[in-house]
Every structure is written in C-alpha cells, then in structure tokens.
Amino acid sequence: KTGNGVGIADLIYKQLTGKELNLNSGTLPNNQVIREKNSDDQPFIDKQQTNALNLNVKQNIENQSPQNEYKVNGNFLNRVQNRLANYQDSISAASQTYRIPKELIQAVITAESAARPNAVSKAGAKGLMQLMDGTARFLDVKDSFDPNQNIQGGSKYLRQMLDRFGNNLQLALAAYNAGPRNVEKYNGIPPFDETQNYVQRVMHYYQYFSNMKGGENT
C-alpha cells in the first residue's frame, strides 16, 4: 500500500537475516567499488584475439548455473557509464596500443574502482585500474591518479597477463587481481573468494558493455 512494492520482501528478508533489505544503495556486494588487496568501428583490434576473448566470456557464462549468475545493478552501471564517458579517449588509445577490446578495459575499470580516478584500496592500490605503487613503477606510471597514465598502465599490465597465460581471459583476470605467481601456483584461478568473485564480475561487465546497443560508451 505504500507504493514501493517491497514491504513483504523487506519483512521476510528481515525475519530471515535480521537485516534491513536495501534496494536503493546503488552498490554491489563483495566490495564492488574498490578491491580490498594486496564500437562499432575497431579496425585496429586483432580480430582473432578479440573473438577468442568473446568466446571465452560466452562459454564461461553459459556454463554457470542460473542460481549463481551474478546480478548486475542497473543504477550502479548507469553511474559508472557516466564516469567512463570522461575517459573514452584514453580507453580507446589503450585499446589500440595493447590490442584489448575497449569493453574489456571498461569492465576492469568498473570492477576495480567504479570509474573513480581517486579510488584507493586499503592495500594502497590507486586510481581507475587500481595499480599498486610497485606495479605502477614497473609499468612506468608516474602518477596513478592521472587517468590517462593509469589506464595505459593497467591496460599494459592486462596485456602482459593475457600474453603470459595464452590469451586465457579468466586466468589473465585472476592474475591481474591476485598476481601471476598465484595463478601459476594453483594452476588456475586461485581459491581466493575475492579473486573468484572478481573474475566473475569482470566477465559479466565485459558482456554487458559488449551487448550495449549502438556501442554507447564503448
């Protein structure tokens, strides 16, 4: 009767969990915004590599059971897209330089920082693509809070991980999050909740941006 349509759901949720049901937070679970840790026309992208990445994403999502499918918050992504619009030139340049689809760079930025250029994790990872200081120095990034430098550096590192793991997108993303040595140690995605959730989030965001009609914000 209040018109918000969630009264019964809120009551059931509160009785089962002891917590209030919040549908208007605009955030996602599992520390979506900041990691807690350690177009239509893209002639410059290697089509074979891009198709391989897209196939990898499609197979990964199709193999997931419906109950485990990660839910995308539309309001959250709308806000992220508005922020991403400020960095399209840098994303396009990095996409061309490192032969990575723009949608994938956008997906990583979304998972890492929600497109906030001044984001800092508790571990000290900084900027749009959350670079640790040591990694930034290795990538010749002088200022991690400079969006262009950060996107260039993060995309370069992602390309290195793709090359290191045979263009396997899931392993490259796991290495981006947990480090390549952990991926090699466990011979796959490490058994860390954060890393497994991270890979799932980026894969869903990648498909979301890839499926956007008219190539908006891509």
Which residues does the annotation mark as catalytic? 112
Cα separation, 204 vs 108, whole angstroms: 10
User: Could you tell me which of 95, 40, 68, 11 has the C-alpha nearest to residue 203?
Assistant: 68
DSSP string, 127-144: TTTTB-HHHHHHTT-S-T
User: Is 109 in contact with 128 (CB distance < 8 Å)?
Assistant: yes
Kindly give, in sequence order, each residue whose CB lies less than 8 Å from that of residue 93, ignoring residues fewer than 6 positions away: 148, 152
User: Is 154 in contact with 108 (CB distance < 8 Å)?
Assistant: yes
- Residue 142: CB atoms within 10 A of its CB come to 9
Cα separation, 204 vs 56, whole angstroms: 12
Q: What one-letter code names the amino acid at 50?
A: T
- Name the β-bridge partners of 126: 120, 131
Kindly give, in sequence order, each residue whose CB lies less than 8 Å from that of residue 33, ignoring residues fewer than 6 positions away: 27, 113, 114, 116, 119
